[in-house]
Structure 1
Amino acid sequence: MKKRILSLFIVVSAIICVYSNLYSAEKVYMPFFELINVHADYQYSVARLFKNYVDEQGRYILIIPQRADSLIAQPPLNEIRETAKSNDCSFFIVADMNRIGETVIISVSMYKTENSQLIWKDRLKANTPDDIDPILQKLSRVIGTEHKAAEDGDIYSVTSYESQQLKQIHSISAFGISIGGALLMSNPFIDDPFSGGGGIFWSYDIRTVLFEVDAQSYFLGSYSVGHLSIDVYRPFFAESSTPFLGGGLGFGYTTGASNGQGNGMMLFVGGGYIFGRTADVGLRVRAQYMLGAFKVENTEKSLPHGFMLNMELYFGK
Structure 2
Amino acid sequence: MSHKVVLAFLLAAAAPARAVTSVVLLPATGANVHEGHLTAATDVLRAHLERTGKLAVTVAPVPGGLRAEPSPLEAAQAARAGGAELAVTLRIARLGNVASVRLAAYRQDGSAAHVDELGAAGPDDLDAALRRLAAGLAEGRPAHALAEIDTVTEREADPYLKYVATNVFGIRLGSAFLMNRASPAGTSHSAAGGGVFWLYDARSFLADLSFDLYGGDADRLVALGIGFYRPFSKGNVSPYLGGGVAYHWLQTGGDGAAGLAFRAAGGVLVGRLSTVQVRVEAGWQVSAFTEKVHEASPVTPHGPFATVGLGY
TM-score norm. by structure 2 comes to 0.82
Could you say what the CA RMSD is over the residues aligned between the two structures, in angstroms?
Answer: 3.2
Select the residue among 227, 230, 248 that pairs with 1:231: 227
| AA in 1 matched with 2:144 | A
Aligned to 2:267: 272
Q: Name the amino acid aligned to 2:223.
A: H
CA distance in 2 between counterparts of 1:130 and 1:73 reads 24
TM-fit CA distance, 1:151: 3.2
5+ residue gaps in structure 1?
none
- Deviates further, 233-242 or 91-100: 233-242
Quote the sequence identity (%): 24
Alpha-carbon distance between aligned partners in 1 of 2:174 and 2:279, rounded to the nearest angstrom: 12
2:17 is paired with a residue whose SS is helix
| Structure 1: distance between partners of 2:95 and 2:138 | 27
1:312 maps to which residue? Answer: 309
Q: Give, as a single letter, the amino acid of the residue that structure 2 aligns with 1:99.
A: R
Structure 2: which amino acid aligns with 1:309?
A: A
Residue 136 of structure 1: how far off its partner (Å)? 0.7
Q: Does 1:38 align with 2:36?
A: no
Q: Which moved more, 1:264-273 or 1:278-287?
A: 264-273
Deviation at 1:50, TM superposition (A): 1.1
After superposing the two structures, state which structure 1 stretch, 132-141 or 229-238, moved more: 229-238
| 2:125 alignment partner, one of 114, 123, 131 | 131
Shift of 1:68: 5.5
For the 8 Å contact 1:289–1:307, the answer to whether it is kept is yes
CA separation in 1, counterparts of 2:28 and 2:161?
A: 31
Q: Determine if the alignment matches structure 1 residue 303 to structure 2 residue 297.
A: no
Partner of 1:20: 17
- For 2:302 and 2:64, the matched residues in 1 are separated by 81
1:215 deviates by 0.7
In structure 1, what is the Cα distance between the partners aligned to 2:276 and 2:33?
A: 50
In the other structure, the counterpart of 1:60 is 55
Q: How does 1:1-317 map to 2 (within 5 A)?
A: 20-21=17-18, 24-66=19-61, 73-114=68-109, 116=111, 118-143=112-137, 147-167=141-161, 169-188=163-182, 190-220=186-216, 223-256=219-252, 258-259=253-254, 261-298=256-293, 300=297, 302-315=299-312
Secondary structure, counterpart of 1:136 in structure 2: helix
Amino acid of the structure 2 residue aligned with 1:37: N
Task: Indicate conservation of the 8 Å contact 1:195/1:222, yes or no.
Answer: no
TM-score, normalised by the number of residues in structure 1: 0.81
Matched residue pairs, number?
304
- Asked whether the equivalents of residues 172 and 205 of structure 1 are also in contact (C-alpha less than 8 Å), the reply is yes
* Cα shift at 1:122: 2.6
Comparing 224-233 with 300-309, greater Cα deviation is found at 300-309
The 3-state SS of whatever aligns with 1:143 is: helix
* Structure 2 segments unaligned to the other structure (5+ residues): none
C-alpha deviation, 1:302, in angstroms: 3.6
